[in-house]
Amino acid sequence: MENETRESAVEELQAALGELERGEGLSRFLGGHGLMSRRFEFKWDEPSLEIDFRLPYARVLGDEESQKADDSEIGAAIRMAMLLLTVEGQKDGPLEGTKASVWADENGVGYSLFDEEGNTTESGGDWSGIVSRLEAALPEGKESLSIIWP
């Protein structure tokens, strides 16, 4: 059942990414209200994986360049979430025996890995370390998901 839930989440994230890339505007994973407080919000919480993404979206008073940058950051967050859900859904995933916590908001991105006792074993103020681990573990036959952070 957990894998079905993961697969469903990945499908929804793929649909949201498609909307964003086609310039249709997001209709999924939106929170907030008003002209400047709308956000892309994706949260996943289970014993081995925690994802918390809250990124500004469609800030009406922002210039076109800022809106494009926001969309780019959301696209990267969506790809990261798909990568995490896909790879960590495998039996014997690359982070097995640990808990991964990954976040992104208007102040930046980061991650932490924890051992069974809850001690931090690795962390970073960007995603390069965790992306390297996860991309190396993509299952055979899965298309590569590139994480490009602006």
Q: In this structure, what token pair is assigned to residue 77?
A: 């967050």
Q: What CA–CA distance (Å, rounded) separates 88 from 106?
A: 26
Provide the terminal-to-terminal Cα distance of the chain, rounded to the nearest Å.
35
Q: Is pLDDT larger for residue 58 or for residue 101?
A: 101
Global confidence as pTM: 0.83
pLDDT of residue 143: 52
User: Which residue intervals of 22-63 are DSSP H helices?
Assistant: none
Q: In this structure, what token pair is assigned to residue 5?
A: 């839930």
HSE at residue 60, side-chain half, CA atoms within 13 A, is 6
Predicted confidence (pLDDT) per residue in 68-96, tens digit: 888 999 999 999 999 888 887 665 666 66
CB 97 within 8 A of CB 121: no
Largest CA distance in the chain: 46
Q: What CA–CA distance (Å, rounded) separates 147 from 131?
A: 7
Taking residues 17-39, what's their average pLDDT?
A: 86
Flag whether pLDDT at 150 surpasses 80. no
Taking residues 114-140, what's their average pLDDT?
A: 82
| Domains located in the chain, CATH noted | 2-136 (3.30.565)
Q: What CA–CA distance (Å, rounded) separates 138 from 89?
A: 10
User: Which residue intervals of 23-143 are DSSP H helices?
Assistant: 64-88, 128-136
Q: Is pLDDT larger for residue 150 or for residue 119?
A: 119
